[in-house]
Amino acid sequence: MKRTFIAMAILLAAIFFTPITFHAAAKPLAPSLIITAEYTPYKRLMEPDLVELFRKYKVGINLFVRNNQLNDDLDRLYGIYEKANVPIIFQPLLPIKDGLYLNKRSVGVYLDYLDVVFAWAESHHHKIQALMVDIEPTYVELAPGERPPGILKGLSRLRKDLGRESFDASIPQFRRVIDKIHAHDAIAVAATFPYVIDDRMKGRHSWEDLFGGPVATLDWDFLAIMMYTSWYVEFGKGIGMDWDAAHYLAYDYAKDMKAIWGDRAGVAVGVTNSGQGHEKVIYTSAAQIAPAIAAVRAAGIEKIGIYDLKGILESGDPESWFKVLSGTPPQVPKKGARPAKRMRRIFRTGGSVIELMR
C-alpha cells in the first residue's frame, strides 16, 4: 500500500510539475479577438486608419490569401501589420480549380500548397505565427449568371463524397497538415461548421464527413466554428428562428464547444456582407451583432471573431464594431431558447440520417 501511495504521489507530481509540451502552449497564443478580411483589397488593408483600429483595440486580422495574392503587395501588408504589432492569422485558399478548401478530396493538393505558402513567407523574411485551415466541401465555381444550387441538389453533390473508408483514410493525411504547420513553428487553427460539435457529443463523424473531413477528430491547436447566426435567421424562419433564437443557438453551441475543447475553442459570428451575393440577411451595425458576441462570451468563449471586414467598412462606422468586439460584456440570451433548441434537434437528427448514408 505504501509503495502504491508513493507511486501515485510521483505520478501526480509528474503531471502537475512537469512542463507541458503541448504545441500551442509553447508559442505565442493566437489572438483572442479577430476580424476576418476576405473581400477587402490589400490596398485598403494597408491604410493607416484601419491598421490603427486593429492596433488600438488589440484585434488580430484573419487574412484570406488566394494563390494569386502571394506577391509584393502581401509582403508590404505583412510588414505594416508586423510593425504595428497586430497579430496576423494567415488563411491560405487553394486555387479555384482545386476547390479553395481543405477536404478529403483536396488534402494531397493542400499539403503541397502549404509548401508554396511557407516558401513565400521565408523568401520574404516573414514568420507565419498562425495558419487557419478552412475545412469545407470543394468549391464549385458558378458560371456568370448561374444561381447557386438548391439545398437538395447541394446535398446530393456532397453525399457522393460520404464514406467511412475514405474518412478513415483521410485522418493520417489531415494529421500531416497539422504536422507540416507545426514543422514551420506555427499554430494550426481549423475552421469548420458548428454541427461537428454534435458529432463529437454523439461519438460519430457524419457532419464532419459531409462537410470536408476529420476536423473534430484531430487535436488542432485551436478550433474555430463558423457560427454565422444570420444564416439561421434567413433560412430558419419556418421553424421560428429570429435574431433572438439565432443568438441563443450560438450560445448553446458555444457552451458545448467550451466544455469539449476548453481554451482551444473559438467562435466567429456574422455575416456582415453578402460575400459573393448569396446571403440576403446580414448584420448591418455593431449594435445588431453585439448580442451574438455577448452570447458567445457568456458561454465562456474568449477567442471571438467577426466575419467579415468588408461589411464593417461599408457600415460607415468601423470603429463601433471594434468597440463592440472588445467591450461587449457576456449576456445569456433571454429569448429564443425554444426555437434554437428545436433547430439544434434538427441538426442532431440530420446527423443521424447522414450517418446511415455513410
pLDDT band per the 50, 70, 90 thresholds, residue 154: low
327 has a pLDDT exceeding 90: yes
Give the SS3 label for residue 55. Answer: helix
Distance, CA of 43 to CA of 85 (rounded, Å)? 19
Question: Does 11 reside within a domain?
Answer: no
For 242-272, give the DSSP string.
-HHHHHHHHHHHHHHHHHHHGGGEEEEEE--
Let me know how long the chain is: 358
E-strand spans in the chain?
33-37, 60-65, 88-92, 130-134, 187-192, 222-227, 265-270, 303-307
CA atoms within 13 A on the CB side of 251: 23
* CATH label of the domain that carries residue 238: 3.20.20.70
Domains identified in the chain, total number: 1
Q: Please state, for a pLDDT cut of 90, what percent of the chain lies above it.
A: 83
- Rounded to the nearest angstrom, the gap between the alpha carbon of residue 193 and the centroid of all alpha carbons in its chain is 8
Judge whether 15 lies within some domain: no
C-beta of residue 61 within 8 angstroms of C-beta of residue 86: yes
pLDDT of residue 21: 30
The H-or-E segment that residue 202 falls in is: helix 195-202
Given this model, what pLDDT does residue 277 score? 62
What residues have CB less than 8 Å from 213, skipping those under 6 apart? 102, 103, 104, 107, 135, 167, 170, 174
pLDDT band of 149, cuts 50, 70, 90: low
CA–CA gap between residue 92 and residue 206 (Å, rounded)? 26
Across 196-204, average pLDDT: 96
pLDDT at site 26: 40
CA dihedral 171, 173, 175, 177 (to 10 degrees): -140
Answer yes or no: are the C-beta atoms of 51 and 80 closer than 8 Å. Answer: yes
16 falls within a domain: no
Please give the average per-residue pLDDT across 48-53, as a whole number. Answer: 98
d(CA 274, CA 286): 16
Whether omega before 308 lies within 30 degrees of 0, making that bond cis, reads yes
pLDDT of res. 148: 65
How far is residue 205's CA from residue 161's CA, in Å, rounded to a whole number?
Answer: 13
Model confidence at 152, pLDDT cuts 50, 70, 90, reads low
DSSP 65: E
**Is there a domain that residue 57 lies in?**
yes
Q: What percent of the chain has pLDDT over 70?
A: 87
The pLDDT assigned to 289 comes to: 98
pLDDT of the residue at 278: 67
Which sign, positive or negative, has the C-alpha torsion 117, 122, 126, 132? positive
Q: Which three cell numbers stand for residue 12?
A: 501526480
Mean pLDDT of 292-308: 98
Taking only the tens place, the pLDDT of each residue in 88-142 is 999 999 999 999 999 999 999 999 999 999 999 999 999 999 999 999 999 987 6
For range 9-20, the mean pLDDT: 28
Q: What is the pLDDT of residue 113?
A: 98
Residue 9 lies in a domain: no
Q: Residue 178 above 80 pLDDT?
A: yes
pLDDT at 25 over 70: no
Q: Domain of residue 134: give its range.
A: 25-357
Q: Is residue 56, in this structure, part of any structural domain at all?
A: yes
pLDDT attached to residue 140 = 82
Looking at residue 257, its pLDDT comes to 98
Task: Tell me if 262 is assigned to some domain.
Answer: yes
Q: What is the mean pLDDT of residues 315-336?
A: 98
Give me the pLDDT at residue 62, please.
Answer: 98
Q: What is the DSSP letter of 97?
A: G
Residue 22 pLDDT more than 70?
A: no
Q: Is position 18 within any domain?
A: no
